[in-house]
Chain A
């Protein structure tokens, strides 16, 4: 067991540890926490109430590969010139950033249905919130399990 005898030794060790720690932070970005998703959602909805319903978030329960996860959001609401689904915003819980996509629709859409493919770094909750033209917000959530592939790039 080495005893750090001198002050210089202690400083040197501390600097090395600090550098190693900083590298760790650089190499592995801090994953978003559920609070960050909540904050991003609040930035979208303000202080308005968010009701469950109307929104259907479609995701596979167990994804084949987290690098490409098919996602569909359907909103059961008509698309009339003065009463339509204006925005669909999708959020995630554990990627480095809480936003996934924000879709802007017009009454000309015919129906409120969008699809895309997303990346998920870990098993987590996905939230889809729809804003109607009357200002109301509706939400659906889904839990997705993401596993690493067995045979990956070396």
Chain B
């Protein structure tokens, strides 16, 4: 499980646009680097990120090797109701990591 840092404001007013910041630990190996033996280091990146809000997908991203190691992605959403944001990162091996964050909307 890679380490993640997720910034979702714990509370928000209904209708307010909130910013969500996400950071995950991952080398994002481009596949273009050579190792000490001269062979290409195979590509291994997180290529997909999604975010759902109480089950509905509100944002997603397709990532390419040009994204820096430890990918940082920020986006916005309207605080509609209290509930849970589920964020998932999928890497080239097909593994998905999911984290959740709660938001209280008054």
Contacts and interface: CB of A to CB of B under 8 A. Distances in A.
Contacts of B71: 116-117
Interface in A80-114: 92, 95-97, 99-106, 108-111, 113-114
B30 A96 contact: yes
Q: Among the interface residues A95, A96, A114, A116, which one has the most CB atoms of the partner chain B within 10 A?
A: A116
Contacts of A23: 38
B101 interface: no
A27 B41 CA distance: 11
- Chain A interface category by residue count: 20 to 34
A119 B68 contact: yes
A116 B78 contact: no
A118 B67 contact: yes
A152 interface: no
B95 interface: no
Contacts of A13: none
B32 A102 contact: no
Contact residues of B: prevailing secondary structure: strand
Contacts of A97: 64-66
A154 B38 CA distance: 16
Interface of A: 23, 26-27, 29, 67-69, 92, 95-97, 99-106, 108-111, 113-120
Nearest to A95: B66
B53 A108 contact: yes
B97 interface: no
Interface string B15-43: 00110000000000010101000101000
8 contacts: A96-B32, A101-B61, A101-B62, A108-B77, A110-B17, A110-B78, A114-B61, A119-B65
Nearest to B21: A115
Nearest to B15: A110
Contacts of B34: 26-27
Contacts of B78: 108-110
Contacts of B72: 115-117
Given A106-B59, A119-B67, 12 more contacts: A26-B34, A26-B40, A27-B34, A97-B64, A101-B62, A102-B62, A103-B59, A103-B75, A110-B17, A116-B71, A117-B67, A119-B65
